[in-house]
Amino acid sequence: MALIECRELTKEYRRGENVIRPLQELDLEVEAGAFLALMGPSGSGKTTLLNLIAGIDQPTRGELIIDGEDVGKLSRSRLAAWRADYIGYVFQLYNLVPVLTAYENVELPLLLHPIKRRERHERVATALELVGLADRHDHYPRQLSGGQEQRVAIARAIVADPRIIVADEPTGDLDKPAAHAIMNLLTRLNQELGKTMIMVTHDAHTAEYAARTLHLDKGRLVESGAHIAAGAAMEAAS
Amino acid sequence: MIRFRMMPLVIRQVTRHRTRTLLTAGGVATSMFLFVAVQAMQNGVAMATETSAADTTLVVYREDRYCPFTSRLPQYYLRDILTIQGVESAVPMKVVVSNCRASLDVVTFRGVPSEEFSGDYAARMTLIDGDLQQWRRRSDAALVGETLAARRGLKIGDRFDAAGVITYVAAIISSHEPQDQNVAYVHLDFLQQTTDRKLGTVTQFNIKVQSPKYLDSVARAVDERFASAEYPTSTRPEKAFVAQAAADMIELIGFTRWLGWGCLAAVLALVGNAIVLGVQDRIREHAVLQTLGYNSFLIQRLIVTESLLLGLLGGVLGAGLAVGVLQWGQFALTADGVSIPFAAGWTLILFGVGLSVLLGVVAGLVPAWQAARRPITTCFRAV
């Protein structure tokens, strides 16, 4: 059974007199542990689909069933609790809280769970170590490079051990070496920790890290393809 | 409120937005300082003028006179007063003030005969320091009220000079009556000779009645007894007398109530403004928190707690400083020989801080509600 199932998933909103449909009757299945890249031109609906899967937006019609639960029908507060359990979100612009240190930023998702302080500390330390920033735990975002900020954001996304990691253009604001490092990290999380990874990207090279790519246009799925292996991109890049 | 493990998050927001916090807390502290000072004056008026059911003291003054310089009564009235039914004791008193106008540092001397004073009248006072026997023995000795002693820095054995009267501090007394706290009791004949060299003339009589039920009847009887005399009298309960004597000053103090309300409005506006700006500035941050799984209600509570902390910080600073300054200065507004003390203590600090916290919470409610109801995706698009 697929971890994520979209059935005739539609998103509409009004802008003045016009009805905008960024996503139209989309059907999709994503297996647990998959690494999926969403590509397409601006306005094609890829970020809308990502936001729906992440539970930060709700569909107008259709079903979005994740791990057997129709998240499109959850109330706002239950959806928040669901996000805390299921989703780790990596943003293009990192979105770290500027007045918090790297450690404190990573700790944020854990504050929602009844975890003892000691265990919280251990989990934050492990996450920072995994992204290679254990020695920068007391640095504020302004004291970090773009790549380092994104690695802190990834640590924040994984620290609560979510099943799905969604990434919206995770390398869009980074130079090539930093982008490569970030993609290697995401690939490791997918392959070594078995996290289901869904990533939006404009960049075909970045998409090659994913095992499968979906192309969207005008809110519809236009093409679906599988890469040979995510590891191939890693090797090619290095 | 939020869970304890969330508190560091709020505290970091307050402590790490240092400029905003200092400006807001500073503004709140200034407003609360003024509010507490106003409230201390209002409390002082209430303490000095609100008659309680247990009050048993009447003041006999010259009819239609409100200033101690113009109220002159023959000392021999005492004999007649003591014969009125319900009177337990009476003390003739000459009042001399260093400044007849309203001021924060007026020295009021009350000249009293030592034998009458030592009885019932002195019973309402507590000796803090010094020796009552020495006061009785020494003609220029003074029993100094605690507030006056603190304000002037007087100690036992000091000599002090005010209104041309030089006295020796023999004892320091305290009393629950604000009028006793801010005066120096000296011997009547000493004061009469030192000031106008007129023996036999006093400013007022203070009468202690046998029980509160005699207050009205004794007051009426005294005024009737002297109605056709050369110096007719006007007799009122002590606190009503204070209210009448300081009516102008009390009216002005009453007006400051509006200043107090203005201070509270300023607190509300300051904290509200800081939180609104903070929330607008952190739209994306709140959207990120919601993406991580923080629900709307939690976001609201985080914002309101931050607002509460700003109010608390400013309130503690402002109210604490105000009470500290007022306690240190022992200020009292005095006019025509009656004192209105600034009544400030722990209760007022707690009241000020509580009000500040409450206003902080109220100021945070609307921005918190606005922040929490925005859809997450809209927040990301908005910035």
Outline where chain B has alpha helix (H): 7-16, 18-49, 77-83, 114-117, 132-137, 146-152, 178-181, 188-195, 215-225, 238-245, 247-281, 283-292, 296-329, 346-373, 376-382
Nearest 5°: the CA angle B333, B334, B340 is: 55
Q: How far apart are CA A118 and CA B5, in angstroms?
A: 12
Q: Is the pLDDT of residue A234 over 60?
A: no
Identity of the residue in B6, B13, B296 whose CB atom sits nearest the CB atom of A76: B296
Neighbouring C-beta atoms of residue A178, cutoff 10 Å: 18
Question: From A77, which residue of chain B is nearest by alpha-carbon distance?
Answer: B295
Query: Hey, are the CB atoms on B377 and A57 less than 8 Å from each other?
Result: yes
Q: pLDDT tens across A92-112, in order?
A: 999 999 999 999 999 999 999
Q: Residue A71: is its pLDDT beyond 60? A: yes
Averaged pLDDT, A191-207:
93
Closest CA to B345 of B58, B141, B39: B39
Domains of chain A plus CATH, in order, are 4-97+162-237 (3.40.50.300)
Whether A77 and B297 lie within 8 Å, measured CB to CB: yes
ipTM value > 0.90: yes
Tokens 């504020």 appear where?
A140
Position B241 scores a pLDDT of 83
Taking the Cβ of residue A76 and every Cβ of chain B, the question of whether any pair is shorter than 8 Å is answered with yes
Contact A77 B296 (CB under 8 A): yes
Mutate to test the interface with A, among B292, B298, B373 (most CBs of A within 10 A): B292
Residue range A108-162, pLDDT digits in tens: 999 999 999 999 999 999 999 999 999 999 999 999 999 999 999 999 999 999 9
B378 at the A interface (CB within 8 A)?
no
- Residues in chain A, overall count: 238
* Closest residue in B to A51 (Cα–Cα): B377
Contacts by A40-47, CB closer than 8 A, 24 or more apart = A40/A215, A40/A216, A40/A217, A40/A222, A41/A217, A43/A218, A44/A216, A44/A217, A44/A218, A44/A219, A45/A11, A45/A216, A45/A218, A45/A219, A45/A220, A46/A200, A46/A216, A47/A168, A47/A200
User: pLDDT tens track of chain B, all 383 residues?
Assistant: 788 889 999 999 999 999 999 999 999 999 999 999 999 988 888 888 876 767 888 999 999 887 888 888 999 999 999 999 999 888 888 888 877 666 677 788 998 888 767 666 677 788 899 988 888 889 999 999 998 898 889 999 999 888 888 999 999 999 887 788 888 999 998 988 888 767 788 999 989 899 999 999 999 999 999 999 989 999 999 888 888 777 878 888 888 888 888 988 988 898 888 888 888 888 899 999 999 999 999 999 999 999 999 999 999 999 999 999 988 888 888 777 777 888 888 898 999 999 999 999 999 999 999 888 888 988 887 65
Q: Which residues of chain B from 266 to 305 reach within 8 Å of chain A, CB to CB?
A: 284-285, 288-298
A46 touches chain B (CB under 8 A): no
- For residue B128, what are the contacts with CB-CB under 8 A and spacing of at least 6? B146, B171, B172, B173, B174
For B57-98, write each residue's pLDDT tens digit. Answer: 899 999 988 788 888 899 999 999 999 999 988 888 888 887
